[in-house]
Structure 1
Amino acid sequence: MADEVTVPLLPCSSIDDVEAFYLVLGFRTTYKQRKPNPHVVVERDAIGLHFFELPGFDPAQSYGSCLVVTSDVAGLHRAFAAGMRAAYGRVLVSGIPRMTRPRARKNADGVTGFSVVDPGGNWIRVVNREAGSDAAVGPMRTALANAVVQADSRGRAEQGARILDTALKRPDAADDPVALIEVLVYRAELATVLGDGATADDLLRRVRDVVLTPEQRDSAADALENAADLVQPGSSPSASGG
């Protein structure tokens, strides 16, 4: 048969919290029940997710995960980010819930993707349907690719931060300034994830000091947008990118 559909059934501590979060991302509730077991279904276009409630469940200990395969990773991320900005005033990059940015995954043949970690601690991994990009070139991009594997794919932010710190301690005059921007911004994001606001602010100030040509600024646009999202309320806007 050719009409089979696989639907993930994921745990959470509160179906109400999960439902509210996915409504922010542009989903709609298509089913909800309290008895005999709390259960909610949310859908957005062809994406359908089912959640069941477990009393006492700890989202931080969740192993729940599923893949969403799409031909428009960037568009879906923009839509989710817009919903977060409208509801929370910013894109959530730390804690639970949170969302990473689209990046090529070295451990997935370079396929681009991002992850949403919902209030149930479930990792919704959005991946590109198309083949991955070429391998990273240069020490900065190599470090970035390795850090993404640790922090974005495996959730090991500390390890990703260590990889980037090592690269940033060995600057080279030949470093691509766009790659340097991407490394600095990603390291600032990981500092935010790790609750180190002072380091994040310092890294964003370093982003401001990188001199970019107009063409390089265009290439770094996604990273600079991420930097703007990372600026904390009350901080000076420090991530204009030269």
Structure 2
Amino acid sequence: MPTELAIPGLPCRDLDDVLPFYTALGFEVTYRQQRPNPYAAVRRGGIELHFFAVPQFDPADSMGSVVLLVPDTGELHTAFAAGLRAAFGKVPVAGIPRMTRPRRRQGTAAGFTVVDPGGNWLRISRHGDPDEASTSGTSGTGDGGSAGADGSGDRTGPGGRLTRVVATAARQADSHGDESAAIRVLENGLARHADAAPAQRLPALVYLAELRWRTGDPEAAARLLAEVDAVELSADERAALATDLATAAEIRAELDR
């Protein structure tokens, strides 16, 4: 048992805005009061969050932000997504609330972000990630490195230079909430590396389709998914890109609704 414990107190407009959302994520409401002031606490495993309600509060103006370190970001994301689908019929990816997908983000730890109905950001990373010490950089506005806007400084990884492009875009969209900047990064990177192998281009195309969908441009998202569908993949490439292909399928299902 730790001798010291920090529990963040986060704002919201109404407790009934945030508590159903956190219940869907698998949290238990451990305390709630309406008077003398609306206040509630939730807990899931070792994560405990407290909320106070301010009726005039606008979630879009929230600066609430919490860093959560967990053993397995993929496992937690899967659990969160299942809970959101069961409670609300879908995983929100745009607006407030929303949840991003787990990705490596340039200059920060790999992970994903949840923005709750109060506009508070939960920045979720894997405990012990080698980039964990850089997590504090998520509050900045830079591109997270010296590679340039298209990420051309990195030639490593299965996606070659486009691996860095996607990571840089993820920092902009998923860490900063600047989807427009991320779209520019991806479009510039795809144009610069037009000669990259189709399998290397696919993750960038899928992420760009997701961002176009997030920003209310379903026609552009559909065009990008058609380009994804046209990519010929070997069995090994299909296995390696299973997560990206699943994301593409999910976006396609949302567009077809």
TM-score, normalized by length of structure 2? 0.85
Partner of 2:215: 194
Give the conservation status (yes or no) of the 8 Å contact 1:178–1:219.
no
Partner of 2:203: 182
Share of identical aligned residues, percent? 44
Compute the displacement of 1:44 (Å): 0.8
User: Please, which runs of 5 or more residues in structure 2 have no aligned partner?
Assistant: 132-153
Give the conservation status (yes or no) of the 8 Å contact 2:179–2:215.
yes
Q: Deviations over 1:171-206 (max 9, x none)?
A: 434x24343121111111111221111111111111
Between the aligned partners of 1:88 and 1:228, the Cα distance in structure 2 is: 19
Between the aligned partners of 2:7 and 2:249, the Cα distance in structure 1 is: 36
Between the aligned partners of 1:67 and 1:234, the Cα distance in structure 2 is: 32
Between the aligned partners of 2:96 and 2:228, the Cα distance in structure 1 is: 27
Does residue 211 of structure 1 match 2:232? Answer: yes
Partner of 2:190: 168
Any idea what SS the aligned residue of 1:5 has?
A: coil
Using a 3 Å threshold, how does the CA distance of structure 1 residues 2 and 176 change in structure 2: closer, same or farther?
A: same
Using a 3 Å threshold, how does the CA distance of structure 1 residues 234 and 11 change in structure 2: closer, same or farther?
A: closer
Partner of 2:165: 143
Counterpart code for 2:223:
D
Partner of 1:239: none
Between the aligned partners of 2:247 and 2:73, the Cα distance in structure 1 is: 16
Compute the displacement of 1:231 (Å): 2.0
Partner of 1:225: 246
1:67-78 maps to which residues of 2 (within 5 A)? Answer: 67-78=67-78
Between the aligned partners of 1:227 and 1:90, the Cα distance in structure 2 is: 15
Query: After TM superposition, where is structure 1 displaced by more than 6 Å over at least 4 residues in a row?
Result: none
Partner of 1:4: 4
Give the conservation status (yes or no) of the 8 Å contact 1:99–1:117.
yes
Compute the displacement of 1:234 (Å): 6.2
Using a 3 Å threshold, how does the CA distance of structure 1 residues 176 and 7 change in structure 2: closer, same or farther?
A: farther
Partner of 2:32: 32
Give the conservation status (yes or no) of the 8 Å contact 1:24–1:84.
yes
Counterpart code for 2:64:
G
Partner of 1:240: none
Counterpart code for 1:129:
H
Partner of 1:85: 85
Using a 3 Å threshold, how does the CA distance of structure 1 residues 126 and 155 change in structure 2: closer, same or farther?
A: same
Does residue 97 of structure 1 match 2:97? Answer: yes
Between the aligned partners of 1:226 and 1:87, the Cα distance in structure 2 is: 20
How large is the Cα RMSD of the aligned pairs?
1.9
Give the conservation status (yes or no) of the 8 Å contact 2:218–2:255.
no
User: How many pairs were matched up?
Assistant: 232
Partner of 1:118: 116
Between the aligned partners of 1:58 and 1:37, the Cα distance in structure 2 is: 18
Q: Deviations over 1:88-143 (max 9, x none)?
A: 332211111110011112222xx21100000000000101112348x663331121
Partner of 1:131: 129
Counterpart code for 1:161:
I
